[in-house]
A = this chain, B = another copy of it.
Amino acid sequence: MDTPHPEPADRLPVPPGKSGCPINLTVELLGDRWSLVVLRDVMFGGHRHFRELLGHSVEGIASNILAARLTKLVGAGLLTRHDDPSHRQKIEYRLTEAAIELVPLLTQLGAWGARWLPTTPELAIRAQLLARGGPEMGERFMAELRATHLEGRPLPSDGVLAELTRAYERAVAEG
């Protein structure tokens, strides 16, 4: 659980004998079976609690893996832990700015998968819609995420996420 720093400012802490290549370091941090899937569920699914993430994910992550990933992501500065007023031992996980800036990456990931892999059509629609929206749509989405995760404001019902969700539900209804 050695964590890279979450601060973009300080350069040159320099890795010991490792690589230092941006692609390699990112893969080292996020290149496993679950990290990005968990972040996807927090971003697009709006799930902020352990049980939500455990159950509502389509893939069925094991609870020990989820716990390990959450700890790692918090340590890496991609998630923050907060007490939930409604239940003393309930914990809320929120995205940090670093995680929110993964939106373009997740977008590309989804777009590529929708293009080259045998995806479920209804699920592919969201990815395609977001990719087709371009950087402008990505920025709007990131602004929404900042508002809800960083400033605690409610999600707009006319926002990007709402639009994506509606498109998905429409596809499910039609299909």
Residues of chain A having any CB pair with chain B under 8 Å: 4-6, 8, 10-15, 18-33, 36-37, 40, 58-59, 77, 98, 101-102, 104-106, 108-121, 123-124, 127
Contacts and interface: CB of A to CB of B under 8 A. Distances in A.
Contacts of A8: 115-116
Contacts of A111: 22, 104
Copies of chain A in the complex? 2
B105 A22 contact: no
Contacts of A32: 31-33
A36 B77 CA distance: 23
A19 B58 contact: yes
Nearest to A44: B23
A68 to B, nearest CB: 15
7 contacts: A11-B118, A12-B118, A20-B119, A20-B120, A22-B124, A28-B33, A31-B31
